[in-house]
Amino acid sequence: MPPGVILVEDSPYESALAYLALSLTTPLVMQAPDLRSAARLAPRARLAVLGPRAMSRVSNRQVRSLGIPAVGIAVRLSDAVRQRAFAAGVRAVYERPRGWKAYLALFEKIHHTVQA
């Protein structure tokens, strides 16, 4: 399985935080501005991590076009967006932990789940 993770996040702060955490837990992190761009990167990845905007716009067709598991991470995500993500085929949606160590532990948990 390819080593990469695709990050689809439009918030500069959340993107930087997720990129740093991912770079400590995976050998290759690729950033995509949207799910269409992420689909082009998917052959080199094993996981897509979606931010709240990507989850609020995701469709089943987009998740299928990725061809890899997708998970979402956000702060204070509405139930409607969470339900939309699950209906589209996003495997899991996580609340972003406030602490750095807990955030790293979340990515480790996600990696182990995807590899299993």
Task: Pick left, alpha or beta for residue 50 (phi over 0 → left; psi -120 to 50 → alpha; otherwise beta).
Answer: beta
Residue 38 φ then ψ, to 5° = -60, -40
Gap between the Cα atoms of 39 and 26, Å rounded: 19
Which domains are assigned to the chain?
4-115 (3.40.50.2300)
Burial class (CB in 10 A: 0-12, 13-18, 19+), 85: buried
**For the whole prediction, is pTM greater than 0.75?**
yes
pLDDT one-digit tens code per residue, 28-77: 999 999 999 999 999 999 999 999 999 999 999 999 999 999 999 999 89
